[in-house]
Structure 1
Amino acid sequence: MDPARFEAVYLVETPLDPVRIAGIMAGEQSSGTFVRVEGETDALRARAGAIVEAVEPLEAVAEPSLPNAWLERRGVAGPWKRARIRISFPVANVGANLASLAATVAGNLFDLGEVTGMRLEAVHLPAAYRAQFALPAQGIAGTRRLSGVAHGVLVGSIIKPNVGLSPQETADLVGRLCAAGLDFIKDDEICADPPHAPLALRVPLVMQAVRRHQERTGKHVMVAFNITDETDAMRRHADLVAREGGSCVMASLNWCGFSAIETLRRSSDLALHGHRNGYGGLSRHPLLGISFSAYQTLWRLAGVDHMHVHGLQGKFAQTDEEVVHSARDCVTPLTDGVDDRVLPAFSSGQWAGTAPATFDAIGHDDLLFMAGGGIMAHPAGPAEGVRSIREAWDAVTRGEALEEAARQHPALAQALDFFGAKVS
């Protein structure tokens, strides 16, 4: 890869010539506009212009994927051609500016009048350019070290009820979840710093519960406090967590934005749990938005340590195939020679019974496997819910069917009977 250029890959739909559209995209996102302007010399174009590296024709369709008033005003009709377009941009156009990088590879492209579909599929960076951005402060290895889980899947859960618990009630629940044998506990994305449970009160009480458990067992349970807020408040919240001996904070990436996450990363070495809530609005239409591959690339440049990928056979709209690809993206280095892998966080409808599909699909246990109801609704209680998940993962990693393992493990047997009936 040319060290002076980075690349973006797009899926495009248009009734016009895709080669022409690729040229429009390259001009729009670099030195040009819809007409040549004063000062836009050949030398400037050669220095700062984007280059169309490839246009791969795909199928044509009879109906447009998205409405387009620009084409309607001109009476342009189908067929609508699809193509995969690869464009490279000069690194010098952007520098080490993540927000500007995102604006360059996406920006106004979604609004182009010539297209009825536009999706950013991937972003590829040369190694020297990737090195100008943040790395995970903890990543997979650091998360394992902080949580004391050297090998095997990390088992986690989420504070439920989502909102409404007082600081003391939250701390009491965390204490019970620690005792149940969890490695990781997180706030829900909708509970950050509410008046009924402000972080200033909640963090010290929760960390008291964590420390008491650690004193009894030697186990430090990682708690991801949701510190989503404006930038200065997030830094204060992270400082509070660090002072209280915490190891992790969580932020809603889409609503905080790149700049806030970058500032948080620079100011704290706590593990940063990146929650992607809202991502469906950027991704669910197959001809609009940003694929997870491109999405996670940009957020990894901000320095997150964990990324949500949803879960197999879960409650959300993503296909299992998309979840698997997302998890694989997280554990694939962005460039050669640098370990910038992040921990994929599986959640949404997970329980002991989804362990086989998860392991079969990704083939490793460098992941965070989170279950809410799958732990706390276990008929024998949360501790047996955690036990059932560990028993399931132990079975699948040694190649044993869950039904066979359940003959020797009551917690797993109860989970299969109870949750299996719920999802069948």
Structure 2
Amino acid sequence: MTRITATYDIETPSGLAHAAAVLAGEQSTGTFVRLASETDELRDRSGARVENITQTATAKTPSLPSRKTGDTYERGLVTVSWPMGNFGTSLPTLMSTLAGNLFELAELSAIRLVDVDLPEQFAHDHPGPQFGVEGTRAFMGGHKGPLIGTIIKPSIGFTPDETADLVKTLVTAGIDFIKDDELQANGPDCPFEDRLNAVMRVINDHAERTGKRVLYAVNITDEIDQMWRNLDAMDRVGATCAMVCVNSVGLTGLRAVRSRSKALIHGHRAGWGLFSRSPDIGVDFGVMQKLWRLAGVDHLHVNGLANKFTESDDVVARAARSVQQPISKHGGPAHTAMPVYSSGQTIWQVDPARQLLGNDDFIYCAGGGIMSHPSGVADGVNSLRAAAEAARLDIPLEEFATPNSPLRKAIETFKKPNITLSDF
């Protein structure tokens, strides 16, 4: 029978073998005592199975508070598998199995879900991205190269008309992509439909005059029925990109959007640090990005190199590359998506961001890297576009930049960050 396999980094005062058995039982047929109805046949058919245990460390103190204590805490990687008969290819039930009550087990003083291996059937049974990279470029009229983008800032506080004024400045400057901040959705001070209509008047007018279609990722995050109404409103005005905060709406909400959307789905991972920041509890991005892609995201945020947050460059690099890998190594549709770099990005991160992917199929969002250019927003956009061309040609920025060019002024303005990519 086909099985799903997951790997956990755990720590325990109870011994790795015992803790792994408790984990497997809790997440399948077992409970705190043996039940008469838990027959050998039932357990063989539906029970989780410990496939491998590799000890990696020991400690004298627990990494997390735990009711059960001991003199020594063993740390190791534990691989567990489940029969697909327990949940089929249901993403919500899969999530309850992979990342459910096991995080609360007293036998575990640390637990982090670090990998999942999905059978091919998942890739067949879920829609995945509706448009992906090629669809994104098609919506823009065949755009070449990475998408140079930015975020509406201030994040919150603009009226619809003020938002549209900033968008006018950005589209005039030659931007490819604009997104709402995750904090701006449908508040009374900036209602969704009023903001959408005001911004799309600017974008549609710009497209008619210049032939360039700028993508606007409008934040539709809300209750499911309201998100559907937001999609209808987008369709009426020709908006082609819906931003969804994937942690806020959950897998079911994301799939509901995918089932109704005629637009790209731009996945924002707001709140991700809650799941990822601690090495002792949480879920790796490599696991969740597979589920979000299966549910339908076309674009997915991966943080940025030399970012303003806590993730290292290696973590960001693995995240960006994972979004372009097939969902299942066993076959089926690849369901690849477009990684979105953001967070403190300037001209300096474009080349390494491209190098670690080996292609131009990404969105590169910069706020201050555009808005703070000494010669204005247009030169900020042009400096990033020049940096992308230098990266494509494999020419160092300092050699590619001509005197007094937007790129040269950006080089002189923005400090070169220290980027460390030990894994690539």
Say yes or no: TM over 0.5: yes
**Contact persistence 2:267–2:301 (CA under 8 A):** yes
The equivalences for 1:302-321 within 5 A come to 302-321=295-314
Q: Which residue of 1 aligns with 2:278?
A: 285
TM-score normalized by the length of structure 2: 0.95
Query: In 2, Cα distance between the equivalents of 1:193 and 1:221?
Result: 22
Structure 2 residue corresponding to 1:223, chosen from 203, 216, 221: 216
Structure 1 residue corresponding to 2:367, chosen from 372, 388, 391: 372
User: How far 1:408 sits from its partner (Å)?
Assistant: 5.1
What secondary structure is seen at the aligned counterpart in 2 of 1:354?
helix
**Contact persistence 2:148–2:175 (CA under 8 A):** yes
Question: Is residue 120 of structure 1 aligned with residue 117 of structure 2?
Answer: no
User: How far 1:332 sits from its partner (Å)?
Assistant: 0.2
Query: In 2, Cα distance between the equivalents of 1:119 and 1:301?
Result: 22
The equivalences for 1:250-261 within 5 A come to 250-261=243-254
The equivalences for 1:395-410 within 5 A come to 395-407=390-402, 410=405
What secondary structure is seen at the aligned counterpart in 2 of 1:71?
coil
The equivalences for 1:18-33 within 5 A come to 18-33=16-31
User: How far 1:328 sits from its partner (Å)?
Assistant: 0.6
Structure 2 residue corresponding to 1:136, chosen from 129, 137, 148: 129
Query: In 1, Cα distance between the equivalents of 2:49 and 2:416?
Result: 55
Q: Which runs of 5+ in 2 are unaligned?
A: 420-424
User: How far 1:208 sits from its partner (Å)?
Assistant: 0.8
User: How far 1:149 sits from its partner (Å)?
Assistant: 4.4
Question: Is residue 354 of structure 1 aligned with residue 352 of structure 2?
Answer: no
Q: Which residue of 1 aligns with 2:422?
A: none
Q: Which residue of 2 aligns with 1:71?
A: 68
What secondary structure is seen at the aligned counterpart in 2 of 1:229?
coil
User: How far 1:193 sits from its partner (Å)?
Assistant: 0.7
Structure 2 residue corresponding to 1:387, chosen from 366, 372, 382: 382
User: How far 1:111 sits from its partner (Å)?
Assistant: 0.7
Query: In 2, Cα distance between the equivalents of 1:8 and 1:422?
Result: 36
Letter in 1 for 2:125: Q
User: How far 1:360 sits from its partner (Å)?
Assistant: 3.1
Query: In 2, Cα distance between the equivalents of 1:243 and 1:90?
Result: 45
What secondary structure is seen at the aligned counterpart in 1 of 2:68?
helix
The equivalences for 1:74-93 within 5 A come to 76-78=70-72, 80-93=73-86
More divergent stretch after superposition (359-368 vs 99-108): 359-368
The equivalences for 1:204-353 within 5 A come to 204-335=197-328, 336-353=331-348
Structure 2 residue corresponding to 1:196, chosen from 172, 189, 199: 189
Query: In 2, Cα distance between the equivalents of 1:118 and 1:29?
Result: 14
Letter in 2 for 1:71: K
Q: Which runs of 5+ in 1 are unaligned?
A: none
Query: In 2, Cα distance between the equivalents of 1:294 and 1:25?
Result: 18
Question: Is residue 106 of structure 1 aligned with residue 99 of structure 2?
Answer: yes
Query: In 2, Cα distance between the equivalents of 1:411 and 1:13?
Result: 52
Q: Which residue of 2 aligns with 1:37?
A: 35
The equivalences for 1:140-179 within 5 A come to 140-179=133-172
User: How far 1:364 sits from its partner (Å)?
Assistant: 2.0
User: How far 1:151 sits from its partner (Å)?
Assistant: 3.0
What secondary structure is seen at the aligned counterpart in 1 of 2:54?
strand
Letter in 1 for 2:192: L
What secondary structure is seen at the aligned counterpart in 2 of 1:420?
coil
Query: In 2, Cα distance between the equivalents of 1:263 and 1:238?
Result: 11
Letter in 1 for 2:56: L
What secondary structure is seen at the aligned counterpart in 1 of 2:310?
coil
Q: CA RMSD in A?
A: 1.6
Q: How many equivalent pairs are there?
A: 417
What secondary structure is seen at the aligned counterpart in 1 of 2:309?
coil
Query: In 2, Cα distance between the equivalents of 1:313 and 1:273?
Result: 23
What secondary structure is seen at the aligned counterpart in 2 of 1:378?
coil
Evaluate the alpha carbon distance shift between residue 280 and residue 289 of structure 1 in structure 2; reply closer, same or farther with a 3 A threshold.
same
**Contact persistence 1:149–1:183 (CA under 8 A):** no
**Identity in percent:** 42
Query: In 2, Cα distance between the equivalents of 1:297 and 1:33?
Result: 29
User: How far 1:302 sits from its partner (Å)?
Assistant: 1.4
**Contact persistence 2:115–2:287 (CA under 8 A):** yes
Query: In 1, Cα distance between the equivalents of 2:306 and 2:142?
Result: 26
Q: What are the Cα deviations for residues 246-279 of structure 1, in whole angstroms up to 9, with x where unaligned?
A: 1111111111111111111111131111111111
**Contact persistence 1:157–1:185 (CA under 8 A):** yes
Q: What are the Cα deviations for residues 128-150 of structure 1, in whole angstroms up to 9, with x where unaligned?
A: 23322231111122112112344
Query: In 1, Cα distance between the equivalents of 2:50 and 2:315?
Result: 28
Query: In 2, Cα distance between the equivalents of 1:333 and 1:40?
Result: 37
Evaluate the alpha carbon distance shift between residue 241 and residue 409 of structure 1 in structure 2; reply closer, same or farther with a 3 A threshold.
farther
Query: In 2, Cα distance between the equivalents of 1:179 and 1:212?
Result: 11
What secondary structure is seen at the aligned counterpart in 1 of 2:333?
coil
**Contact persistence 1:352–1:388 (CA under 8 A):** yes
Structure 1 residue corresponding to 2:51, chosen from 45, 50, 53: 53
